[in-house]
Structure 1
Amino acid sequence: MEKVEDIVIVGAGIAGLTTSLGLQKLGVRNLVLESSHSLRITGFAFIAWTNAWRALDAVGLGDSLRQQHKQFYSNVATSTITGHQTTDMSFKAKGKLGDHEVRCVNRKLLLEALANELPSGTIRFSSKVVSIEESGFYKLVHLADGTIIKTKALIGCDGVNSVVAKWLGFKAPAFTGRAAIRGWINFKSNHGFEPKISQFMGIGFRSGFLIPNDDTGVYWFLTSHKEKEIEDDPAKMKQFVSSKLANAPDEIKTIVENTELDYIMLSPLRYRHPWDLIWGNISKGNVCVLGDAFHPMTPDIAQGACSALEDGIVLARCLARALLTKEQSGESKEKVDSESEQYMKIEMGLKNYAKERRWRSIVLITTAYVVGFFQQGDGKLTTFLRDKLLAPFLSELLLKRADFDCGKLSIS
C-alpha cells in the first residue's frame, strides 16, 4: 500500500517534534513517523541552556515550560581527589546576546508539550523505517509493516542509528570508550536543594548531582571511561556509581542509594567525527538529517538536546521559506509549482539549512570532546591540569557555546 505525503519526518524525538511543530506553525503540513508505539522518553532530563530556551521561545513553548522548571544560578565543581572546590561559575553574568538562562528540563514534559501542539494524526506510531528508495523527484519510505510512503521531502531525526543518515552516506557514529549512567529520583515532597548544578570530578569519571528540575525531582548522571566494568544492570550500575563517589558528600551518596532501579539507565557514548561533518552530506537532494542523526556528541557541554532544538527551528524556517511565499495580506500560501520546481526549492531549502548548521555543529562536537577529555581525565597530568589550571576555562566554555540564538520562525 502506497501513501503520499508532502514532508515526512522520521523520529518523534526532540529534533523531529520541534521540526514538525515549526513547520506546522509556518503553514507546512507534515507527517512524523515514530518506530515505537508511543513517545519514547529516554534520559529522564537534560540541562537546557540559554540557546535551548531561545529555540523554545521561537516555537512558542518557552513560557509554559519555564513555569515547570527551576532556573539555575551557578555551576559548582568539586574534586573528589582533593576535596577542594575547583569552579564556582555564576550564570548571572550577561552573555554577548543577553542574559543566560539555565534549567533542568524533564524530557517527558517537553516531548508531550511538543506533541500536544501538533494537529491530530501528525504522528504515526509503530512506523519503523526499514529502507529508502528513489522515485524521480520523490523518495519512497518503506516501513516494517509493508506500507510505502511517497514524499517530496524526507527529514531524518531518527537518532544515532539513523537509517536516513546511512542513506546519506554517513558512517555509524564512533564509540568513545565511555559510558553515561543517568538517574532520576522523585522525593515526593520538596527536596530543598538549591537551584544549581553540582559536579564532582574524579580519576576517570565526572558526575553531576543535585540537579533539580522542579521542587520534588532531581536528575543525576555519571560518565566514566570504565565502560567494560559497567554492566547494563540497574542494581550493579548503582553499586558502580556509589563506588566512584566514596569521597563525595553523604547527601550525594543518599541520592544514589534511594534512586529506584527503574529510574537508572546506561548509555554508551558515541559521537560523529568533526571531519565527517566537514565532508559529509548533511543534505542531499530532498533529504537531510537533524539532531543525533546529524551530530551525535558527548554530553560534556550538555548541548545534544539543546542543539537538536536549534536544528528544528532552523530547518523549519529554511524549508518553509523554500516552499511558501509571503503574500501582501500577511498570510502564507503554498505555491503551485511543477514537480521539478518543487524539488529544486526543497533542495535549496535543505542546502541552506545544512550551510547554517554545519559549522555550529562541528564546533559543538569538538568542544564537547575536548572538555570531556580533560574533565574525565584518568592520568596524573590531565587530572592536575583539570583541577589546578583548566577548571574555570572548561566551565566557561559551557556558557560560551550556549550564548547562541538560532533565530525566529519566520519566512520573511
Structure 2
Amino acid sequence: MESVIEEDIVIVGAGIAGLTTSLGLHRLGIRSLVLESWDGLRVSGFAITMWKNGWKALDAVGVGDILRHQHLQLPRNVTTSLITGQQTSTTSFNDNKGKYEVRCVRRHVMLEALANELPRGTIRYLSKVVAIEESRFFKILHLIDGTTIKTKVLIGCDGVNSVVAKWLGMKEASYTGRYATRGYVELKDTHNLDPMFMYFGKGFRGGVFPCHHNAIYWFFTWTPIIQGEELAQDTSKLKQYVLKKLEKLSSDVRIFIEKTEFDAFHLAPLRYRKPWELIMGNISKGNVCVAGDALHPMTPDLGQGGCCALEDGVVLARCLAEAFFNKSIKEEKEEEYKRIEEGLKKYANERRWRCIDLIATSYIVGSIQQSGSKFVNFFRDKFLASFLALMLLKKSDFDCGQLK
C-alpha cells in the first residue's frame, strides 16, 4: 500500500517567496516542508534590486545583515536619455537619516542565505507537484515521483506558471509584448561604478548596477521587431543586438556589457497579472493560498518583484503563525480548518491592494519609460524623468511589519 507523508504546512517552490515564508515560520517555531521541482535552488536573472521595503522584510526574517556585507550600497540613481545623450535626472538615495537603502543583490546569494537558515530537510528537491486533490480538511499532493503528501495548509510559491494558482482558478499571466535581457559579469579588477545608471531610448530601456566591488549586473528591455525566441537561439546575435541598441552608452559603462560572456545572458518575455484579476480572483481559498510570482507577476520597471515576494513571505508567516498559536487542546479538525482559512484570508486582504498597486504602477511606468512615441519620449525626458525616478523610492517606502 502506498505510504502518505503528512505535513502541517507545505510550500510549493523554493524561490524568494517560498523560502522567506518557510524561514518566517521557522523563526516563529512552526515547521514547514518546501517542495522544489529542480535538483537545487533555482536561480535565473542573476541579480535583483533590493529596495528599502525588501531590506525591512529581510531583517524581519534575520538575514539582512548577511546580505549587506556582501553587496554595495548604492548612493544614487542617474538617468540618461539615449535619444538626446543628456542626463535627465539624478536622485539621491540618502538624506540626513540615510532613509533609502538600495543594493543590487545577487539572487543565488540571497536564496542561499535564506535556505542556510532553515533546518536540514526543510527543502525537498526533485519534488514536482502534478496533481492536487481535496480530502475534507486536507489537501493531497501527488508528486511526479509517485510520492503522496497530505497537508493542512498548501502555499503556492511556484512562480509565474504556478500549479497552485491554476488550482485556485487564476488565469495564466499575460504577455506584455516586451522582452528583457539580463546579464552579469565578474571582473578581475575593481570597477569604478558608484551609482546605478538607467537609460531610456526609443522603444527600449536599460540599466547598469554594481553588485559588489568586482561584479556588475545589467538589464535591457525592449519590444522586439525580431522575436525574442529567435535571439534566444543565438546568444551572440542577442549580444550584438543589445550592444547596437545601446551604442550611445558611454564607453566606461558599455564595456561591462561587452565583457559579459554568452552564458551570462538571460532572456525572457515579460509577463504580468492583470490587476482586475486580483480584485475579482482568489488569492486564498480554504486552506490554500499563493505568494510571490504565483500571485503577482509584474514587469520589472519598479524593481519590486523580489521585494514584494519578501513582503508576502513575512506577512504570510505572521498570519499563519497566529492561526496555529490560537489552537486549543480539544479543538476539532473543522475548527482548525476554519482558523487556518481565516488566517489565509487575513493574509490575502493585507496583500491584495499592495500587489494591485505595484502591478499597475509598474506597467504604466514601464510603458512611459519604454515608449516608441516621439511625443511621449520628449515629455518623458523633459518633464517626467525626475518624477519616474522618485516613483521608485515612493513605492519602496513600505513596511510589511515584523513577524510577531
TM-score after normalising by structure 1 = 0.95
Residue 156 of structure 1: aligned partner: 156
Counterparts of 2:241 and 2:227, CA distance in 1 = 8
Whether 1:226 and 2:220 are equivalent positions in the alignment is no
Deviations along 1:249-294, one digit per CA (max 9) or x if unpaired, are 1123221111011110101100000000001100000000000000
* Cα distance between partner residues in 1 of 2:347 and 2:329: 20
**Equivalent-residue separation in structure 1 for 2:328 and 2:93 (angstroms):** 43
Shift of 1:190: 1.3
Specify which of 380, 390, 393 is matched with residue 386 of structure 1.
380
Helix, strand or coil at the partner of 1:213? strand
1:264 paired residue number: 265
What is the distance in 2 between the residues matched to 1:248 and 1:359?
38
CA contact (8 A) 1:286 1:347 kept: yes
**Paired amino acid for 2:51:** W
In structure 1, how many angstroms separate the alpha carbons of the residues matched to 2:226 and 2:246? 18
Q: For residue 302 of structure 1, what is the aligned residue in structure 2?
A: 303
For 2:381, give the aligned amino acid: D
> Matches of 2:400 and 2:240 in 1, distance apart?
41
SS at match of 1:47: strand
Structure 2 segments unaligned to the other structure (5+ residues): none
Q: Deviations over 1:144-183 (max 9, x none)?
A: 1111111000000000000000000100000000010000
Give the CA deviation at 1:227: 6.2
SS at structure 2 position matched to 1:170: coil
Match of 1:124 in 2: 124
Distance 1:188 1:408, change over 3 A: same
Please give the alpha-carbon distance, in whole angstroms, between the structure 2 residues aligned to 1:280 and 1:299. Answer: 23
Aligned counterpart, 1:18: 20
Equivalent residue number for residue 102 of structure 2? 102
Letter in 1 for 2:341: E
Corresponding residue for residue 199 of structure 1: 198
Report the secondary structure of 1:368's partner residue.
helix
Q: Following the alignment from structure 1 to structure 2, what is the Cα–Cα distance between the partners of residues 182 and 243?
A: 16
Looking at structure 2, the residues matched to 304 and 337 of structure 1 have their Cα atoms a distance apart, in angstroms, of 39
Q: Distance in 1 between matches of 2:55 and 2:96?
A: 15
User: Who is 1:330 aligned against?
Assistant: none
CA distance in 2, matches of 1:64, 1:149: 34
- In structure 1, what residue type is equivalent to 2:223? H
Taking the aligned partners of 2:183 and 2:245, their CA distance within structure 1 comes to 15
Number of residue pairs matched by the alignment: 399
Which residue identity does 2:86 align to in structure 1?
A: H
Partner of 2:173: 173
Runs of 4+ in 1 over 3 A off after TM superposition: 227-230, 333-336
> 1:395: which partner in 2?
389
Give the distance between the partners of 2:96 and 2:184, measured in 1 at CA: 31
1:102-157 deviation per Cα after TM superposition (whole angstroms, max 9, x unaligned): 00001111000100000000000000011111011000111111111110000000
Deviation larger for 251-260 or 12-21: 251-260
The structural deviation recorded for 1:363 is 0.3
- In structure 2, the partner of 1:361 is 355
Q: Secondary structure at the match of 2:109?
A: helix
Give yes or no for contact 1:76–1:88 (8 Å, CA) kept in 2.
yes
What secondary structure does 2:88 align onto? strand
Write the distance in 1 (CA, Å) between the matches of 2:363 and 2:74.
Answer: 24
CA shift for structure 1 position 334: 7.9
Compared with structure 1, are the counterparts of its residues 336 and 238 closer, same or farther at alpha carbon in structure 2 (3 Å cutoff)?
Answer: farther
How far has the Cα of 1:248 moved from its partner?
A: 1.2
C-alpha spacing 1:334/1:57, structure 2 compared with 1 (3 Å): farther
Alpha-carbon distance between aligned partners in 2 of 1:265 and 1:334, rounded to the nearest angstrom: 50
Q: What is the root-mean-square deviation of aligned Cα atoms in Å?
A: 1.3
Deviation at 1:377, TM superposition (A): 0.5
Are 1:339 and 2:336 matched, yes or no?
no
Aligned residues of 1:324 and 1:335 also touching (Cα < 8 A): no
Q: TM-score, normalised by structure 2?
A: 0.97
Unaligned runs of 5+ in 1: 326-332
Name the structure 2 match of 1:329: none
CA distance in 1, matches of 2:175, 2:191: 36
Q: CA separation in 2, counterparts of 1:101 and 1:253?
A: 26
Give 1:386 deviation, angstroms.
1.0
Tell me the distance in 2 between the aligned counterparts of 1:192 and 1:396. Answer: 25
1:177 partner amino acid: G
Equivalent-residue separation in structure 2 for 1:374 and 1:180 (angstroms): 16
Cα distance in structure 1, aligned partners of 2:251 and 2:227: 24
SS of alignment partner, residue 118 of structure 1: coil
Query: 1: distance between equivalents of 2:226 and 2:287?
Result: 41
Q: Could you tell me how far apart the structure 1 residues matched to 2:358 and 2:340 are?
A: 27
Return 176-185 or 222-231, whichever deviates more: 222-231
Deviation at 1:336, TM superposition (A): 5.6
